[in-house]
Structure 1
Amino acid sequence: MTDPSYSRRNVQHVTVADDEFQAVSEGRIRIRIGVVAFAIMIVLIVLRLAETSIFGPKPAGSTLPQAITTTRADITDRNGEVLATTLLTYSLYAEPHIVWNVEETADALLSVLPELDRAELVEHLGSKKNFEWIARGLTPKERQAVFALGQPGLGFRQEPKRVYPRGTLASHIVGYADVGMVGLAGAERAFHEELSKPNAPAKALSIDMRVQYAVADSLMHGIERYSAKSAAGVVMDMKTGEIIAMASVPEFDPNAPATASTESRFNHAAMSTYELGSVFKPITMALALETQTSTLTEKFPVQKPFKVTNKFIRDDHPSKVPLAMPEILSQSSNRGTAMLALRAGADAQKQMLRDFGLFDRVPYELYESARPQVQNRWIDLTTVTVSYGHGIAVTPLALAVASAPLMNGGLYVTPTILKRDAANPVASRRVLSDSTAKHVRDMMRYVVTDGTGRNARASGYGVMGKTGTADKPGVGGYDDKGDIVTSFISGFPYADPRYVVMITYDSPQTVEGDWGYRGAGWNAAKTTKDVVERIAPMLAIERLDAAMAQKGYPAQEAYR
């Protein structure tokens, strides 16, 4: 018979064993849950550390701007050379509430980024704000140097940055964009919407970087030689209206526009208006021929005093004999030009200036285009002074555009800073008869071979042009210091005119060896010669004497 006490003991043991098993099982479950929770926590910590190390900490409740995602299309010259592009760079920011020691952090940052301003840096690091930008556009090397400092409270984010690999070259044409990738000047501003479109193609400008460099370099040497305040140069295709080069000196670096002076950022070629002087005289010659108020052979008594209203018209180098139109232009006679203008009349003169675009801004794509300064009251004296480039102030670019019809057969071609293609065809209108343009072209060639423009003669390229020297106006009259503006408007080659070249100097000084002269014939004309000789081969313009020699003919005097 079974002992009852044994049975009770056995049941008790089984109950105890079950309780122990259940406790162990529950413990194991808790352990497993703890391990899983711990693992999840470790994973989250690792992910957070990875995020912090790669992208920098995200400031809680900060005013951190959203990332700039603009890709922005490149800008190139007509040959595909990159003028502006976009690169990814690093921007450094601080969370001041996490910075341990402001002074120590500032010193550490200055050791790797010495260009930072210490006082401003300390102010940002000690700010009560949650977020402060410290430096934008860091290179990978600079970013790594800051990262290696191990300073808390600092972070990075990647941002696109607009970069200009050509530096100062063509800076006034290309312009620049701000840190937010918004175009502020030049082509960057003019084509901002197009450049900002997703997957937009590169924007090809009309300029040729080789020609641009040659013009800018010649002007830089000219400023140094003649101690001028500034200089401007334009090269334009007179058949297509494409601006091949437009230089304004001094230049600036669009990679750092904030450090550039106001003077260097100013585009003197398109924004500075000058009374350009006698470079207007070829227009007056065209006016006289087009209105048929004179002929090429009629002679005018320029050797005698000539008075209009209460003003005597003077010539710098008075002729002792009467002069016909070609000599009036080649010797740059103010009296002869005034007589021709008065014959044609104010209405015809104003209409021609309007047709040539000299009463309006230059109608090209850039915002940098100054309005001309034109007389409100147009009396006889206005007609006279404007005929030789006084009493009206225009930009060098405007005069270059207006002079193209004088040499291209009489067509005003709308200028452009974009490369011509099917989407940007040539737009032109006739403003002169072909015969008038041919006669003016011949006279401008005569200026270079036998007149005031001899120093512009680039052998073999048939340069034609006109000098212009004008006193600078001041308060109450013209500058009593004798400051002048000198210019040379030209075209080449004479046999088949293709390119307009305009060179202007503001306040050039006399140079030893020039016998005290500082007029356009002694500086702007010389620079024109240098520019033409440098750019003609780039533009595939063959020397006329070389071409004729290959055909077995001697070089003609007209092409010397």
Structure 2
Amino acid sequence: MMPIQPPSPDSLPLRRPVLSATGDGPAPHEESLPGVTVRVTGPDLQRRAQLERSRGRLVVAALGFGALFLAVAMKATWSTVIAPAEPKRLNAAVRALQPPSLHVASRAPITDRNGEMLAISLPVTALIANPRVIHNPTEVADRLRTVMPQLERERLIERLSGDRGFVYISRALTPREQQGVINLGIAGLDFEEAERRYYPQGRAAVHVLGNVDVDGKGVSGIERRFDERLSTDRETPLRLSIDVRVQLALRDAVSKAIADFNGIGGAGVVLDINTGEVISMVSLPDYDAGDIGGATPDERFNRVTVGVYEPGSTFKLLTAAAALEYGTANVNTSSFDASRPIRFGRFTISDYKGKNRWITFPEVLAYSSNLGAAHMAQTFGPQRQREFMKAAGMLARQQIELPEAALPLAPPANSWRDINMFTIAFGHGISVTPLHVVTGVSAIANGGILRQPTLLAQPPGAQREGVRLIGERTSETMRRLMRLVVTDGSGKNADVAGYFVGGKTGTAQKTGPRGGYLMNKRIAAFVGAFPMNAPRYALYVMVDEPKPNAKSYGYATAGWVAAPAAGSVIARIAPILGLVPEDPGNPQIVAATSIPLQPGRPRASAAAGAATPAASRAAEPPRAAAPRPAATPRDDAAPPVLPRAVPMPTLPGRAAPGALPPPVPLRLTSNQGAGLAAR
């Protein structure tokens, strides 16, 4: 046989062999090479045919698996992205068959008016122990403290000792703590599924929400007032009228005022004057709702509904509204003697930085004259003053949805006499809560309808019932006067361009626990409404015991303390509440909210609607026997405790507007006195 020669590098590629059939199997093939013939046998051809068939089957299988995976991917996309499946609720029958240990009294969530979560119950794991099984309480306590070092060792040992069969070690474990206890492997320890009340907003509206005890039962605030509702209707949130955004803005402003003037506390309220909804309620100092155990009594004290204070000059709005409503004074023609103090024995009522002249009706409020307010109250007398205060809700608890609501401190009916009439006219001799003040002023500004405040959100457009306190015309006049106080009077620092703020400042001395007034301890407050051309909201801001500072030029009165805080609150919350500022120079709005300080002021000797000079002289002893008049007191001067006075004859029925009954002389004993109030 001739040896096979390798092909030349320049030769053509080999041709595939040409197959020819031989015998009963696949015919052997011959492949021709240059000078070479290769034969392919039948078995090789069979293997090649099988490989071709396998290749086709693999292609079909791959296509099948591809289609399957594509279907799974499409189904997953549909179920998770396009149309997510809702989780199935646990069947009631299945829940009923669960062990009793898993049934914990749950509570419905509480939200603000916009649906923001204020309180919610979440599942937790509690650590319990059986002291009968634990033989070495000290060792177990030390091992547990390696996982939970916050536990008090002596108290833990005491709880793990004794013959009790069940004690709580911790009401709420974190997952890390739970795993750590499991790793300890201590016999006698077990876990219990429970629920815990959480307050996601921390300190926001803490005095409104209140708290629950360790068993989930309400103990204060809304949690206590609606305890049954929250425990039975668990799926429906309780929606409050509070707006968290406004709540935070009001808290920031009051907190800053307290810090700036070194006060011991403060309060604030924002009220919808048309529905009575409380949009915000702040009492400082406060505490984190989730840490009630660490709160002090002062932090838990709600100054808005429980704190009773003399309202000071903010009450002059009620005095003016009563005089207009009774028709015993006229805003255009009445004037009052503020040229001399009113003397009661050795005490006097005088003005802080008074004008020392006769002043008009608008000037009484703009300049916050105690003398003018006292003479204004004299036109309608003590009996009708008390009737008006009762109608305004100043003699009873506010019917708000909080268990914590204080009763005002006021003279009884048989002791409401001349001296009380004079001092109550400018906010002394009576103590009410801040909620009383802002509710009464809301009625004065909203057209005359008094509505009890509420913490429950009202349906949009709902009309809440109320009682008429004053007429619409009186309310319109009062709105002009409130605006005048901010533009030309003591409330200038509360003005916000475009929102036409109106209101009244009030500074009152604090009373001591044994009666009498405390030196250098005062309440500085501002109450008002905005916008006065179409009132929507009422506002109250108060700082407890402010101290003068350099920025206030040594003053700590409401015009320097509370009015600026009120202005900053309005500037922040008005846009939040959807109020758009108007042009401050809009002539129509300015005309609708303005009143001159001296509208056609008559001469003092012929002033209509004023206490005559003779009446004023009747209120003081003869000149020769009169004590030396006291100098006009400083703002921090303490008013004396007032004794009872001789009753004043009741004035006849309501007079026509502008027509005044004859003034009634005061009959006083030599030892009677009166307090004095500053703005």
TM range (shorter): 0.7 to 0.9
Give the structure 2 partner of residue 347 of structure 1: 383
Give the structure 1 partner of residue 88 of structure 2: none
Q: Indicate conservation of the 8 Å contact 1:514/1:522, yes or no.
A: yes
Aligned counterpart in structure 1 of residue 361 of structure 2, from 325, 330, 334: 325
For the aligned residues, what is the CA RMSD?
2.2
The answer to whether 1:474 aligns with 2:512 is yes
Give the structure 2 partner of residue 374 of structure 1: 410
The answer to whether 1:457 aligns with 2:495 is yes
Letter in 2 for 1:438: E
Q: Indicate conservation of the 8 Å contact 2:364/2:372, yes or no.
A: yes
Q: Distance in 2 between matches of 1:514 and 1:199?
A: 52
The answer to whether 1:429 aligns with 2:464 is no
Q: How far off is 1:343 after superposition?
A: 1.1
Give the structure 2 partner of residue 146 of structure 1: 181
1:198/1:432 Cα in 2 relative to 1: closer, same or farther (>3 Å)?
closer
Structure 2 matches for 1:29-178, cutoff 5 A?
A: 68-178=103-213
1:423/1:457 Cα in 2 relative to 1: closer, same or farther (>3 Å)?
closer
Q: What secondary structure sits across from 1:180 in the alignment?
A: coil
Give the structure 2 partner of residue 399 of structure 1: 437
Letter in 1 for 2:315: F
Choose 472-481 or 355-364, whichever is displaced more: 472-481
Q: Indicate conservation of the 8 Å contact 2:449/2:469, yes or no.
A: yes
Q: Identity over aligned residues, as a percent?
A: 38
1:478/1:78 Cα in 2 relative to 1: closer, same or farther (>3 Å)?
same
Q: Distance in 1 between matches of 2:319 and 2:404?
A: 28
Q: How far off is 1:503 after superposition?
A: 0.8
Aligned counterpart in structure 2 of residue 516 of structure 1, from 530, 554, 570: 554
Q: How far off is 1:81 after superposition?
A: 0.6
Q: Distance in 2 between matches of 1:458 and 1:146?
A: 59
1:423/1:66 Cα in 2 relative to 1: closer, same or farther (>3 Å)?
farther
Q: Indicate conservation of the 8 Å contact 1:172/1:265, yes or no.
A: yes
Q: Indicate conservation of the 8 Å contact 1:89/1:140, yes or no.
A: no
Q: Distance in 2 between matches of 1:185 and 1:255?
A: 13
Q: How far off is 1:220 after superposition?
A: 1.4
Q: Indicate conservation of the 8 Å contact 2:480/2:593, yes or no.
A: no
Aligned counterpart in structure 1 of residue 534 of structure 2, from 493, 496, 500: 496
The answer to whether 1:229 aligns with 2:267 is no
Give the structure 1 partner of residue 479 of structure 2: 441
Q: What secondary structure sits across from 1:455 in the alignment?
A: helix
Q: How far off is 1:442 after superposition?
A: 0.6
TM-score (norm 2): 0.70
Choose 523-532 or 295-304, whichever is displaced more: 295-304
Q: What secondary structure sits across from 1:270 in the alignment?
A: coil
Aligned residue pairs total 493
The answer to whether 1:389 aligns with 2:439 is no
More helix by share: 1
Letter in 1 for 2:305: A
Unaligned runs of at least 5 residues, structure 1: 1-64
Choose 138-147 or 499-508, whichever is displaced more: 138-147
Q: Distance in 1 between matches of 2:269 and 2:460?
A: 25
TM-score (norm 1): 0.84
Give the structure 2 partner of residue 17 of structure 1: none
Q: How far off is 1:529 after superposition?
A: 0.5
Letter in 2 for 1:409: G
Q: Distance in 1 between matches of 2:338 and 2:362?
A: 13
Give the structure 1 partner of residue 5 of structure 2: none
Give the structure 2 partner of residue 540 of structure 1: 578
Letter in 2 for 1:120: R
Q: Indicate conservation of the 8 Å contact 2:254/2:542, yes or no.
A: no
Q: Distance in 2 between matches of 1:413 and 1:474?
A: 32
Q: How far off is 1:325 after superposition?
A: 1.0
Q: Distance in 2 between matches of 1:184 and 1:425?
A: 32
Q: What secondary structure sits across from 2:248 in the alignment?
A: helix
Q: Indicate conservation of the 8 Å contact 2:500/2:584, yes or no.
A: no
Q: What secondary structure sits across from 1:303 in the alignment?
A: coil
The answer to whether 1:414 aligns with 2:449 is no
Letter in 2 for 1:463: V
Give the structure 2 partner of residue 42 of structure 1: none
Q: Indicate conservation of the 8 Å contact 1:100/1:152, yes or no.
A: no
The answer to whether 1:487 aligns with 2:525 is yes
Q: How far off is 1:112 after superposition?
A: 2.0
Q: Distance in 2 between matches of 1:461 and 1:168?
A: 29
Aligned counterpart in structure 2 of residue 334 of structure 1, from 350, 367, 370: 370
Q: What secondary structure sits across from 1:255 in the alignment?
A: helix
The answer to whether 1:356 aligns with 2:392 is yes
CA deviations on 1:253-291 (whole Å, 9 max, x unpaired) are 221212111111111111100001000001000111111
Q: Indicate conservation of the 8 Å contact 1:460/1:559, yes or no.
A: no
Q: Distance in 2 between matches of 1:529 and 1:430?
A: 29
Q: Distance in 1 between matches of 2:515 and 2:213?
A: 41
Aligned counterpart in structure 2 of residue 254 of structure 1, from 273, 289, 294: 289
Q: How far off is 1:531 after superposition?
A: 0.5
Q: Which has the higher contact order (CA 8 A, sep 6+)?
A: 2
